[in-house]
Structure 1
């Protein structure tokens, strides 16, 4: 089964967010949207028809608050998402849409595995695209005061798609966070990067794989993908090294990693490329070098574990072996992680929301405390660290 659509909870649009009001009466809020639409040039009849049936969706708000999936460690997460069936269907789709992937490679320099992995994780190759009414979801999240700056512009982007004949307010469905289609793109991203890959005159991300794949490729390209360069490579580590060099914010040329004893587990590498050493479960667990293209993944989704798993699955679809899980120290439970975050905050660190999720800020704080306490500074929190704090 496909991972719940909560995976796309933190998907960010490439568009610039604007300040917007939120809260209060939902009907008054919708009227305000209609007024703003007409003020921006949409005729009154079109605006009225677009917003006519919009309703607040309580299930959207419930999904927005449910983030438990992000508490899983990388190995568990990856094994849950990457099945033999997904591998086989990925290979089958690579052959079925070979001409589309050839065009993508020629135009954007993006390997098939990259888009196949997104396609698999977001919608199980189009099989489960979400059944939330997209307009209801967008307006509900724009009205909610948690992230209105992200979702209000998407309402007006959906209105533009409606004017083009590519959005039906009553029938367009998708993820709870407003993403549409096989690779789950927000309306503004469809406006900016939508491609008519099959030549029928419309951008149909829900029904046309060529449209979805070409649009996803264009979006990655606009987000900064460097053509022809790698994104992630599994490596083996020496028995000893300064683990404080690990982490997404520390970058060295591959030649320097090589001098420290880091080696590619398979394939070749470019000694001049910059890369970061990623140890998702500490120095005893899986190890990867992340190249500049890896950072582009965070423009698509903000979850570290999701991004790493998607990048790794892209490698697998390109022929890489199954990663070596190693023998990492056991991680913390959700409750322990919250306790750790509270202790880090008490020491002056900004870990963001105390949510039991090992995010980027928590990792940085953990690594700093490991250094202070003389522990291996690999940013992987253990019960030993929790006890010492």
Structure 2
């Protein structure tokens, strides 16, 4: 079955998936998935062999509900993930796989720092790829009712990888959310973006760094990466800047930002007509960044604002940028206070998504609107003062 055939299968199964119920008995749920696969054109021997060993994994659900690290603010989170050891190892890997990175830069126009940062954060340069059985993880998360539509297509993608001889239902392991390999790609992404960069006839993302890096680069390219353009850059802002202009959804040209007094902390800004958003992850007293169009592509890889900004910033460090100026941010909120804030914002009609104690993009937008309404600095950084005023 070619990639086009797989996509046809997915489109055929989507109506069935929309009607299928999550939850209920696990074995019955697996049986329904098997019937969907048979409807999609797979033979019974392949389907039975693929699903034969599948088991529900409670540890996957526990991991899914225990992502407290994303509750940390940017400075704490980035300092936790970025160390001198990771910087040094990144430079060593850059030299070791220079040929691969040159090929990536030539083919896709993606700076090596971008791939090195993902490689570092996802698996510590391949050293920690996860020990969860991938099929069990994907089916468990599909059966769970939190995000079934995200994970169900991945099960069928894994089935196609199995049919091709590139997935072992019993032995393929990875992260708790079903990602596989050195840069942690989901099965459907592997099908659509896998590259045999080392020429051995297989796409092996767990054992071949060239395969993993080239596949990750192709995925970023297909997600919309603009070749040979920057992604994020640290800047300084004037004291009198209208903070309401900041935020990922408010973009101006670089020329406009310069006219407002925004300047690069190091190097040069992008071209004057390039669109950029001003990001103040911990308010106007903390670090400041201009986010260029490629920064948006990061959110196609990971939905966490803190993770995305940290990965993008680390990529600049690996490409030679200096460490950011942390400044002196106002005290933020503890996780229980953040949940309280989210409930208050939701009660006022704001869409903050889940009340999870995480300062995500939706919560930031709501915070900024309330800051503006209350006459506080509208920098999207929630403080005890804002919580008290609400």
Q: TM-score range by the shorter chain?
A: over 0.9
Match of 2:224 in 1: 224
Match of 2:346 in 1: 345
TM-score w.r.t. structure 1 length? Answer: 0.95
In the TM superposition, 1:1-20 aligns within 5 A as: 19=18, 20=20
* Residue 53 (structure 2) pairs with residue 53 (structure 1): yes
- Would you identify which runs of 4 or more consecutive aligned residues in structure 1 move more than 6 Å? none
Mapped contact 1:246–1:276 kept (Cα < 8 A): yes
* Residue 38 (structure 2) pairs with residue 71 (structure 1): no
Shift of 1:274: 0.6
In the TM superposition, 1:1-389 aligns within 5 A as: 19=18, 20-269=20-269, 270-389=271-390
What SS is found at the alignment partner of 2:277? strand
What SS is found at the alignment partner of 1:184? coil
- Structure 1 regions of 5+ residues with no counterpart? 1-14
Q: Distance in 2 between matches of 1:128 and 1:275?
A: 35
Match of 1:10 in 2: none
Partner deviation per Cα, 1:250-280 (whole Å, 9 max, x = no partner): 0000111111111000111222211000000
Q: Distance in 1 between matches of 2:64 and 2:326?
A: 31
Q: Distance in 2 between matches of 1:353 and 1:148?
A: 16
Shift of 1:23: 1.3
Match of 1:4 in 2: none
Q: Distance in 2 between matches of 1:176 and 1:251?
A: 36
Shift of 1:21: 2.9
Partner deviation per Cα, 1:72-107 (whole Å, 9 max, x = no partner): 000000000001110011000001101101111111
Mapped contact 1:74–1:280 kept (Cα < 8 A): yes
Q: Distance in 2 between matches of 1:23 and 1:376?
A: 45
Shift of 1:359: 0.9
What SS is found at the alignment partner of 1:319? coil
TM-score w.r.t. structure 2 length? Answer: 0.95
Shift of 1:364: 0.7
Partner deviation per Cα, 1:87-139 (whole Å, 9 max, x = no partner): 01100000110110111111100000000000000000000000000000001
Q: Distance in 2 between matches of 1:46 and 1:160?
A: 10
How many pairs does the alignment contain?
375
What SS is found at the alignment partner of 2:183? coil
Q: Distance in 1 between matches of 2:125 and 2:108?
A: 21
- Structure 2 regions of 5+ residues with no counterpart? 1-9
What SS is found at the alignment partner of 1:272? coil
Q: Distance in 2 between matches of 1:28 and 1:365?
A: 42
Partner deviation per Cα, 1:29-50 (whole Å, 9 max, x = no partner): 1112222212211111111111
Q: Distance in 1 between matches of 2:237 and 2:88?
A: 31
Mapped contact 1:21–1:148 kept (Cα < 8 A): no
Match of 2:3 in 1: none
Q: Distance in 2 between matches of 1:380 and 1:344?
A: 14
Considering only aligned residues, what root-mean-square deviation do their CA atoms show, in Å?
Answer: 1.1
The range that moved more, 175-184 or 61-70, is: 61-70
Partner deviation per Cα, 1:124-160 (whole Å, 9 max, x = no partner): 0000000000000001111111111111111110011
Mapped contact 1:206–1:212 kept (Cα < 8 A): yes
The range that moved more, 326-335 or 39-48, is: 39-48
Shift of 1:318: 0.2
Q: Distance in 2 between matches of 1:60 and 1:278?
A: 33
What SS is found at the alignment partner of 1:330? coil
What SS is found at the alignment partner of 1:277? strand
